[in-house]
Amino acid sequence: MRCGLIGITLALVACKSGGGEGRAGGGAAVGGARDGAVAVGTDANAVAATTDAAPVAPAVIDAGAAAVDAGAGRAATPTPPGVVRLVLVHDVPLLRSEEKALQRVTSALARGKLKGTVVDAGDEEAALFAAWTAQVPPEPMPPLPAAWATAPLVIVVGVNPPSGVEPKRQSSGLSPPVVFRPPSNDAVFVAGGRATGDTFDGLLEEGGLLSMLATFARSAP
Amino acid sequence: MTRAALIATALIATAAAPARAGWRPLELMLIDAGQGGAAGKRCVDRVAGFFKAQGEDVDLVRRDLAAVRAKLPATLPPSVLAWTDAATAALRVRKGDDPLDAIVVIDCRPDARTLDVVIDPAPDGVATLRLRAVALEAPVLEWVARRIQAAAYVGFEP
């Protein structure tokens, strides 16, 4: 209970102080934004997960990632074994509309046959994503982060910076995803070049990426 | 009487040509890289089937790589993922007609469970799709076809 109150307090302080500065490679967005972004899932456990490396419950967004930023490297948030991991890479806070859409994605992952959780990218995850978007396939292929070891599937997507200026900023959607099935460090699916990305809601559509999770997860090498 | 005939003619013409100002199909050339044998051909057939199912929205032209090889550069990277739009530029040109909207080259190898696709849409640059260690069954190929279609529409002007 006490930890929960501390967590909520940290999140509120982060919101109050603005915290609009994004961190390179992602992770800054979910909490602590001042330009229309909102905190999603400001669960004390999520805050604890970033500070104490405690397990995160499925479908809990790492809202605390923005609240705790000492300027040091960001470790990947652990996820429970057997849970699909949707990793968001972004430099700027999500827009309110994106946060709401992300909530729908989170709910869908929580309801799905194959459970999933949404986390902000740690440094290693952001670097891995950058390597795969710079060259397909990257040579050599980078090793997977240790936090992915127990995930049946990992989807990494970049959230494109919004277009326009405040207060009329608009979402620019997501970059094409890179999908991994640990322990293989070769991507199961990757789209490169001018490939089109999705939106958060597009992930949920019939024929969207999330409809392929079970297929990708079971196609064992 | 004349007036009634004109009105009737106009109504018939309107009915025959529904109001779709500015509409035209996406003109697409789909090329089988031919590396996957018979299974690879069936794989490409499945992707082509998706586009045929789009009806009048997609005008599909299918070619084998061998049939268009002469129009491609003499030396090409072994992987289609490394192809550039310069490689497929000559395929877009059509005599007496506008260029094709997109060139799609598919290297599907179901036995090896690999699928590589390069899409050259109207603007500069290409899009690529790469699948590994995935059973290339119908739902997967339909999903891939949707992504190909989305990439092919980049820069499309009706």
Domain positions in chain B are: 24-152
Total of domains in chain A: 1
User: Nearest residue on chain B to A187, judged by CA atoms?
Assistant: B132
Q: B127–A191: do the CB atoms touch at under 8 Å? A: yes
Query: Cα A155 from chain centroid?
Result: 9
pLDDT reading at B14 higher than 90: no
What separation in angstroms does the CA of A21 have from each of A18, A71, A105, A118, A184? 8, 12, 25, 21, 34
Q: How open is the CA angle A50-A21-A63, to the nearest 5 degrees? A: 30
Nearest-CA distance from B106 to chain A in Å? 14
Residues facing A119 on adjacent strands: A87
The predicted model gives B40-49 an average pLDDT of 97
Query: Would the CB atoms of B130 and A189 count as touching at under 8 Å?
Result: yes
CATH number of the domain at B24-152, please? 3.40.50.800
Please report residues of A whose CB lies closer than 8 A to that of B119: 194-195
Range of lowest pLDDT (A24-33, A129-138, A202-211): A24-33
Are A158 and A175 in contact by the 8 Å Cβ rule? The answer is yes
Chain B residue nearest residue A194, CA to CA: B127
Residues of B in contact with A189 (CB under 8 A): 129-132, 134
A178 is written with which tokens?
A: 């890179």
* Highest mean pLDDT out of A58-67, A163-172, B125-134: B125-134
Contact status, residue B150 vs residue B28, Cβ threshold 8 Å:
no
Q: Is the pLDDT score of A71 beyond 60? A: no
Mean pLDDT of A16-42: 35
- Phi, then psi, of A158 in degrees rounded to 5: -95, 135
Average pLDDT, chain A: 73
What average pLDDT does this structure show over B55-82? 93
Confidence grade of residue B35 (pLDDT, cut at 50, 70, 90): confident
- Please tell me the distance from the alpha carbon of residue A25 to that of residue A29, in angstroms, as a whole number: 11
- Contact at 8 Å (CB) between A137 and A186? yes
Strands B127-132, A187-193: pairing kind: antiparallel
Cβ(A78)–Cβ(A56) under 8 Å?
yes
pLDDT tier, B71 (very low <50, low <70, confident <90, very high otherwise):
very high
Confidence of residue A40 (pLDDT cuts 50, 70, 90): very low
CB nearest to A190's CB, from B113, B130, B137 = B130
Shortest Cα–Cα distance, A199 to chain B (Å): 13
Do residues A160 and A174 make contact, with C-beta atoms less than 8 angstroms apart? yes
Residue B2's pLDDT band (cuts 50, 70, 90): low
Count CB pairs under 8 A between chains A and B: 73
| Nearest residue of chain B to residue A213 (CA atoms) | B140
Domain extent at residue A53: 2-218
Mean pLDDT of A55-66: 38
> What mean pLDDT is predicted for residues B77-84?
93
Taking residues B12-40, what's their average pLDDT? 77
- What whole-number distance in Å separates Cα of residue B102 and Cα of residue B117? 13
Please tell me the predicted confidence (pLDDT) of residue A72: 52
pLDDT of residue A24: 37
What's the token pair of residue A45?
A: 């456990």
Q: Identify the pLDDT of residue B97.
A: 83
pLDDT at B94: 85
Structure tokens at A62: 């790492």
Put simply, the answer to whether B128 touches A137 (Cβ < 8 Å) is no
Number of other CB atoms surrounding residue A108 within 10 Å: 15
CB contacts, 8 Å: A191 with chain B? 127-130, 147
Grade residue A45 by pLDDT with cuts at 50, 70 and 90.
Answer: very low
Out of B126, B143, B146, the one facing A194 most closely (by C-beta) is B126
Contact A187 B132 (CB under 8 A): yes
Q: What's the mean pLDDT in A34-52?
A: 33
Question: Is the pLDDT reported for residue A148 higher than 50?
Answer: yes
Average per-residue pLDDT for chain B: 88
Q: Does A186 touch chain B (CB under 8 A)?
A: yes
Residue of B133, B140, B107, B103 whose CA lies nearest to B37? B107
Written as one letter, the residue type at B103 is I
CA B11 to chain A, closest CA, distance in angstroms equals: 39
pLDDT at residue number A89? 96
Strands (E), B13-143: 26-32, 58-64, 102-109, 114-120, 127-132
Q: What is the pLDDT of residues B109-127, one digit of tens each?
A: 999 999 999 999 988 899 9
Smallest Cβ distance to B134: which of A137, A188, A211?
A188
Work out the average pLDDT over A141-154: 94
- Confidence at residue B111, expressed as pLDDT on a 0 to 100 scale: 95
pLDDT in tens, A164-204: 988 889 999 999 999 999 999 999 999 988 888 889 999 99
> CA of A205, closest CA in chain B: separation in Å?
12
Asked whether the predicted pLDDT for residue A7 surpasses 50, the reply is: no
CA distance A112 to A211: 10
pLDDT band (50, 70, 90) for residue A26: very low
Whole-number percent of chain A with pLDDT over 90: 48
Question: Is the per-residue pLDDT at B16 higher than 50?
Answer: no
Which residue type does A145 have? P
Residue ranges of A 13-32 with Cβ closer than 8 A to chain B: none
Asked whether the beta carbons of residue B143 and residue A136 sit closer than 8 angstroms, the reply is no
